[in-house]
Amino acid sequence: MHEENSRRDMIKKVATMALASTALSSLSERVAAHDKTVGEPLKGKINHSVCAWCYDDISLADLCVAAKKIGIPSIDLVDPKDFAVLKKHDMTCAMVASNGPEWGITRGFNNPAHHDKLETYFRHYIDETAKAGFSNLICFSGNRNGLSDEQGIANCTKGLQRIISYAEKKKVTLVMELLNSKVDHHDYQCDHTAWGVALCKSVGSENFKLLYDIYHMQIMEGDVIRNIRDHHQYIAHYHTGGVPGRHEIDETQELYYPAIMKAIHETGFKGYVAQEFIPSRPDKLASLNNAVHICDIA
């Protein structure tokens, strides 16, 4: 009996040491991933972008310069009025902004009362996006305000179909963002992948797709890699962010981004992944550089 107990104790110790070694290895890989110098060559499997609003204390021109040094060729969520700055620095905009003072996250296509003005608004933004040579334009469902999921899809479909043929003609894709309604955007309707996919099928155009925000969907439903694999044909763009808190995407949060990036790459995705975390560290651009290298899979 004593011999058997000793053997069991030994097995437990070996198993514990193996688990600890694996955990340390994983952690060391994460730490090493962001121990990178600016300008270190990227592997090229992921097209990188960064959301301008996360660096609102840095001018757009300075952000362009810093992004290019890191190896980022795109700035996300730039308004047409600022396209000239991007052009000056030879940068693209992988996702054009459309969240203005009148229309945006809370007031979108799920309310028919907005459709007339949204049609005018988005035709103009489609024109500006196409004129600049960009291809993706963000849009939003709006808040539920008591709407059922079915009625929200029906209303969004009617509104989007008023402009989708124009978007097709101009070679612009309207991209609706999936956002969480639990923490950041209470009552927002397009808050689950299944709802967004159902809307894509209802609209029935290759020029309407989803922005899969990894931060938001981890909060709402988890199962991030499975959802990416199952629904990648409806996804035009990705955003990152650490959970919880929407800060750095390193070992301080619960998602392992290299595995997520690998899953995205394996779907054949050719679009952009944009960093949309809010840096919590003093050197924000160092955090951005680290995040890009975390996502820079072999």
Print the SS3 string covering 118-145: HHHHHHHHHHHHHHHCCCEEEECCCECC
Sheet of 74-76, strands arranged across: 74-76, 47-51, 272-275, 235-239, 208-213, 173-177, 136-139
- The pLDDT of residue 102: 75
Backbone angles phi, psi at 283, to 5 degrees: -90, 90
The pTM is what?
A: 0.88
Look at residue 67 and tell me whether its pLDDT is greater than 90. yes
Look at residue 152 and tell me whether its pLDDT is greater than 80. yes
- Between residues 128 and 34, the one the model is more confident about: 128
Span 273-283, mean pLDDT? Answer: 97
- Between residues 110 and 101, the one the model is more confident about: 110
Q: Which residue has 């060391």 as its token pair?
A: 28
- The pLDDT of residue 35: 54
For 245-264, what is each residue's pLDDT tens digit? 999 999 999 999 999 999 99
Share of the chain above pLDDT 90, in %: 84
Q: Which two tokens stand for residue 293?
A: 């290298």
* Band of pLDDT at residue 39, cut at 50, 70 and 90: low
